[in-house]
Chain A
Amino acid sequence: MHVFQLYINGHSLNSIEAVDTLLKICRENLNGDYQLDIIDIQKDPDKAEEAGIIAIPTLIRMKPTPVNRIIGALNVRSRVLAGLGIPSMLK
């Protein structure tokens, strides 16, 4: 099971792109076995504070450990998969 947090800023272009790509990956590569929490820093700044978020968008993979972070619009899918350690074979 993969657990993600994605920090976005309202409807900024980078945010929308990141959400789209991530949802696609979750659907197509993880067979629905995931949990995704999308946090808008405009609405929930305390969470961003707690996690020490600087850049938008920031994707945190909480599970499996170790925790890691990817920042950016996630527009290169193969690199996102590599960064998250998801084999693209699962497709």
Chain B
Amino acid sequence: MVTPRPESPEQYLYFQNHLCLPMQLKKLETGNASFDHISHGGLPQGRTTLVAGSSGSAKTLFGAQFLALGIELFDQPGVFVTFEEQIDDIRKNLKSFNWDIDTWEKEGKWIFVDAAPKEEIIVAVGDFDLSAFRIRLERAVKKCNAKRVVIDSIGSIFTQFHEETHTIRRELIQVALTLSRLEATSIITAERLEEYGKITRFGVEEFLTDNVIILRNVLYNEKRRRTIEILKFRGSDHEKGENPFTINPEKAIVIIPLSAMNLKHVSSSERVTSGIPALDEMLNGGLYKGSINLISGAIGAGKTLLVANFINGIREKKERCLLMAFEESSEQLYRNAAGWGIDFKQLEEEELLKVICLYPEISSLEDHFINIQEVVKNFKPDRIAIDSLSALARTSSDKGFREFIIAFTSYLKHQEITGMFTSNTPLLAGGTSDTEGNISPITDSIILLRYVEMSGEMQRSIAVLKMRGSKHDATIRKFSITDEGAKIGQHFEGISGILTGNPMLISSGRD
């Protein structure tokens, strides 16, 4: 039989993808759930993956986490080779993540191979090889029967022997071959100089080509944004594109898997009350369970009042609600709610309500997301209210905020949590904000609260702009805030232009 031979690069690729290689190579679960998710199962097993990133992009942490989780979750020993940082420094730096490396070393589960620069001056006279390093690496791997190996970072060996880059390049190919013979799943980290450019500084990717991951730490609009991108896994599937990640003090690197979000969540037809019967009527029976609802309005238009009622609505079915307040202290919130006849304290005592007040600036959006997930996991709320989303948007770039919203709403829908978010409009009478531009396509309903100036008087209005999958009241109604809470009145008859902020009386009595 004649084996077909590729004649062009395209054909070669075709052969490789369709004829020669089995498409799904086995993967090794790393134990970092979010990474295993975007990589469709982990790192290619028994192979070497290049992790490239600029300085400060968390390469070392990525590698260390890979080893630590291997020991903690799968009892797989690991070898950590350092070409750059001194071992003592690494031990110290990693202590903050509660990884007990000292003990693991004593138990023979974690072995350091020290290849960091020495104090002494090194000169090169004549040809050399890195066989000593290879032998030491092999010994360490065999000694602890390592399943995982990290080499951090390969770029610094070029700096250690800066006049001999040609030799180093030749020798690193040998190291790569040794690793593949040892069949350990390995990570080699490498420096890169620009966030978007050549993969690595010394062209390591030329011989470590099969699997490449890029970590980025981009400064944009005075804000840092960390992302991870799996550039390629030869012969194996993965999510494409950049996914934001954050460094959590307990869980180290946590990725927010944007590209892996799916729209397969269940859409409930069950309704829950908004806490205001008249508003439920406008919504044709209340909010959908597990829906995302946005309240848009200028300052003082009654957004927090609607949120308070939304929270009070949990009484009906003994639901639980989490309130994330980014603008007011809990004291203020309790006082305001009490002023509208709603008792937050009692709800909290019954453990139906949990109020968390934070300044949005204390952490990045990604961290807020992780924190909220953690609270949701423990508290298991049926509802979540965020007051306000606009305050949260301050902490991040536009792109980052959009991604957060997508990830967050998708998360809530998976958990079937009914969400109510508020958003500030910059103008008193109307208009929209950037926050809304980002979120409105994702919401199931939008409720507008607007000021209306009529005959020298400020009045409030309420309208349901959108209600996915249901009819709703299309009228703009009077809305007032009284001692007993929210009152929804008749619709503004014979007036147009409320939404644009220029209300005008229409004289023709059409009604």
* A52-B114, A52-B116, A55-B161 known; A70+B122 contact, CB < 8 A: yes
Total number of B residues with any Cβ neighbor in A under 8 Å: 24
10 new A-B contacts at CB < 8 Å, known A55-B161, A60-B120, A75-B127: A54-B133, A55-B128, A56-B131, A58-B128, A67-B120, A71-B125, A71-B161, A72-B125, A72-B126, A79-B123
Does B73 sit at the interface, judged by CB under 8 A? no
CB atoms of A73 and B126 under 8 A apart: yes
Which of chain B's residues have a CB closer than 8 A to the CB of A76? 125-126
CB atoms of A48 and B126 under 8 A apart: no
Question: Can you give 25 contacting A-B residue pairs, CB < 8 Å?
Answer: A9-B129, A9-B132, A14-B127, A17-B126, A42-B135, A45-B135, A48-B135, A49-B139, A53-B132, A53-B133, A53-B136, A55-B130, A55-B132, A55-B161, A57-B128, A58-B132, A69-B118, A69-B120, A70-B124, A70-B125, A72-B125, A73-B128, A74-B125, A75-B125, A76-B126
CB atoms of B131 and A9 under 8 A apart: yes
Q: Which residues of A contact B (CB under 8 A)?
A: 7, 9, 12, 14, 17-18, 41-42, 45, 48-49, 52-58, 60, 66-76, 79-80, 83
In whole angstroms, what is the CA distance A77 to B115 when docked? 28
CB atoms of A54 and B115 under 8 A apart: yes
**B118, B126, B131, B139: which contacts A74 (Cβ < 8 A)?**
B126
Minimal Cβ-Cβ distance residue in B for A9: B131
**B115, B121, B127: which contacts A52 (Cβ < 8 A)?**
B115
CB atoms of A45 and B139 under 8 A apart: yes
Q: Which residues of B contact A (CB under 8 A)?
A: 114-116, 118, 120-133, 135-136, 139, 157, 160-161
CB atoms of A71 and B128 under 8 A apart: yes
Minimal Cβ-Cβ distance residue in B for A14: B127
CB atoms of B132 and A56 under 8 A apart: yes
Which of chain A's residues have a CB closer than 8 A to the CB of B115? 52, 54
* A48-B135, A48-B136, A72-B124 known; A56+B129 contact, CB < 8 A: yes
In whole angstroms, what is the CA distance A46 to B404 when docked? 51
Indicate the member of B121, B129, B132, B160 with the most A CB atoms within 10 Å: B132
Which of chain B's residues have a CB closer than 8 A to the CB of A60? 120
CB atoms of B118 and A52 under 8 A apart: yes
In whole angstroms, what is the CA distance A48 to B125 when docked? 20
CB atoms of A54 and B132 under 8 A apart: yes
CB atoms of A68 and B116 under 8 A apart: no
CB atoms of A14 and B126 under 8 A apart: yes
CB atoms of A12 and B118 under 8 A apart: no
**B121, B125, B126, B130: which contacts A54 (Cβ < 8 A)?**
B130
CB atoms of B131 and A73 under 8 A apart: no
Which of chain A's residues have a CB closer than 8 A to the CB of B116? 52
In whole angstroms, what is the CA distance A2 to B121 when docked? 17
**B120, B127, B132: which contacts A68 (Cβ < 8 A)?**
B120
In whole angstroms, what is the CA distance A78 to B201 when docked? 34
Which of chain A's residues have a CB closer than 8 A to the CB of B161? 55, 71
In whole angstroms, what is the CA distance A67 to B122 when docked? 10
Which of chain A's residues have a CB closer than 8 A to the CB of B127? 14, 72-73, 75
In whole angstroms, what is the CA distance A83 to B128 when docked? 16
In whole angstroms, what is the CA distance A18 to B129 when docked? 13
Which of chain A's residues have a CB closer than 8 A to the CB of B120? 60, 66-69
CB atoms of A80 and B125 under 8 A apart: yes
The smallest beta-carbon distance between A73 and chain B, in angstroms, is 3
In whole angstroms, what is the CA distance A53 to B137 when docked? 11
In whole angstroms, what is the CA distance A76 to B133 when docked? 24
* A52-B114, A67-B120, A69-B120 known; A83+B125 contact, CB < 8 A: yes
CB atoms of A12 and B135 under 8 A apart: no
In whole angstroms, what is the CA distance A2 to B129 when docked? 26
CB atoms of B126 and A41 under 8 A apart: no
CB atoms of B126 and A69 under 8 A apart: no
* A49-B136, A52-B115, A52-B116 known; A71+B131 contact, CB < 8 A: no
Minimal Cβ-Cβ distance residue in B for A52: B114
Which of chain B's residues have a CB closer than 8 A to the CB of A80? 125
The smallest beta-carbon distance between B121 and chain A, in angstroms, is 5
The smallest beta-carbon distance between A39 and chain B, in angstroms, is 10
The smallest beta-carbon distance between B55 and chain A, in angstroms, is 22
CB atoms of A79 and B135 under 8 A apart: no
Which of chain B's residues have a CB closer than 8 A to the CB of A79? 123, 125
Minimal Cβ-Cβ distance residue in B for A80: B125
Minimal Cβ-Cβ distance residue in B for A42: B135
**B131, B136, B160: which contacts A12 (Cβ < 8 A)?**
B131
CB atoms of A41 and B128 under 8 A apart: no
CB atoms of B123 and A70 under 8 A apart: yes
The smallest beta-carbon distance between B115 and chain A, in angstroms, is 5
CB atoms of A41 and B122 under 8 A apart: no
The smallest beta-carbon distance between B476 and chain A, in angstroms, is 76
In whole angstroms, what is the CA distance A74 to B127 when docked? 8
**A48, A72, A83: which contacts B132 (Cβ < 8 A)?**
A48
CB atoms of A72 and B114 under 8 A apart: no
Minimal Cβ-Cβ distance residue in B for A72: B126
In whole angstroms, what is the CA distance A73 to B127 when docked? 5
Which of chain B's residues have a CB closer than 8 A to the CB of A72? 124-128
In whole angstroms, what is the CA distance A55 to B163 when docked? 14
In whole angstroms, what is the CA distance A55 to B129 when docked? 6
Which of chain B's residues have a CB closer than 8 A to the CB of A68? 120-123
CB atoms of B133 and A55 under 8 A apart: yes
